[in-house]
Amino acid sequence: MTTSAVEPGTGPTPDPAGGRALDGRVAVVTGATGALGRVVAARLAEAGARLVLAGRDEARLREVASDLGLTDDGWLAVTGDLDAAGSASVAKATEATFGAVHIVVHLVGGYAGGTPIAETDPTDLESMIDQHVWTTFHLARAFSEPLSRGGFGRFVAVTSPFGFNPPGRNAAYAAAKAAQQSLVLSLAQEFRGTGATANTILVRTIDAKRERITAPTSANARWTTPEEIAATILWLCRPDAERVNGVALPLFGGPTPG
């Protein structure tokens, strides 16, 4: 893992909806250079959080920070994989730079599916477990103690309703998402009484191109935009959401998984 920061910028503007609810908080965002990661980072910064942007490409992390106008003392870049050593390095670098960590938003993941189990390549299952299960496990292991130490902590992961209600031809993805869900909900139980929470947001498809809004169809009716996900994450991270712990929150326009 390597770390860096950018030159001073103009700084974020207040969030009209959430105000500066996260002033003084330090938030780690994994997958920060993706379409969702950029929006989430922007909303957290607008709410006053200092950011640790985690990803594999330092140049792209710098680009995100520059686009958001983050100041030199308001952000940190950490590059590398989210294996055991890498996740521990993110935690160590965060506390060394900012003295604490209050929020972890885990957005790393991918998709492999579309084939029946009999035709699924075992490497697809391995890949899904690596991306969804192992990264979540390593992050939870690295951050559970610092998040629960100071009376305020938030761990949020974006996952899928397929972990609860797996469709056919998606066994590898659904199995990994089910395991990821169990990890986060187990962490939530360990956080009880500490002021820290752990929750997941269930999303069917991240609508990065906003097609549900610009070109609505029955196929994309249950997709979710990055802005909608980011707003929900921000709400879960607010101090007044302390009672929300161990929840799998559906964010796809329906009350039931699937």
Q: Which of 9-18, 98-107, 159-168, 209-218 has the lowest mean pLDDT?
A: 9-18
Mean pLDDT computed over 225-245: 98
172: left (phi over 0), alpha (psi -120 to 50) or beta: alpha
Instruction: Report yes or no on 256 lying in a domain.
Output: no
Residue identified by tokens 């761990």 is 155
Q: What is the pLDDT of residue 2?
A: 64
Instruction: Report yes or no on 255 lying in a domain.
Output: no
Instruction: Report yes or no on 257 lying in a domain.
Output: no
Instruction: Classify 94 as helix, strand or coil.
Output: helix
Instruction: Report yes or no on 233 lying in a domain.
Output: yes
pLDDT in tens, 9-53: 333 444 444 459 999 999 999 999 999 999 999 999 999 999 999
pLDDT at 134 over 90: yes
Instruction: Report yes or no on 45 lying in a domain.
Output: yes
Asked if residue 47 lies in contact with residue 15, where contact means CB atoms within 8 angstroms, the answer is yes
pLDDT at 236 over 90: yes
Q: What is the pLDDT of residue 14?
A: 44
Instruction: Report yes or no on 148 lying in a domain.
Output: yes
pLDDT at 247 over 80: yes
Instruction: Report yes or no on 258 lying in a domain.
Output: no
Nearest C-alpha neighbor of 108 from the set 184, 32, 210, 198: 32
Q: What is the pLDDT of residue 13?
A: 40
CA 37 to chain centre: 7
| Rounded CA separation 36/225 (Å) | 8
Q: Where does the pLDDT of residue 256 fall: very low under 50, low under 70, confident under 90, or very high at 90 and above?
A: low
99: buried, middle or exposed (CB in 10 Å: 19+, 13-18, 0-12)?
exposed
| Rounded CA separation 246/258 (Å) | 19
pLDDT at 174 over 70: yes
Q: What is the pLDDT of residue 253?
A: 85
Domain count for the chain: 1
| Rounded CA separation 153/102 (Å) | 5
Nearest C-alpha neighbor of 103 from the set 50, 171, 65: 50
- Structural domain of residue 225, as residue ranges? 2-250
Instruction: Report yes or no on 54 lying in a domain.
Output: yes
Q: What is the average pLDDT value for the chain, to the nearest integer?
A: 93
pLDDT in tens, 188-202: 999 999 999 999 999
Q: What is the pLDDT of residue 258?
A: 54
* Residue 57: CATH number of its domain: 3.40.50.720
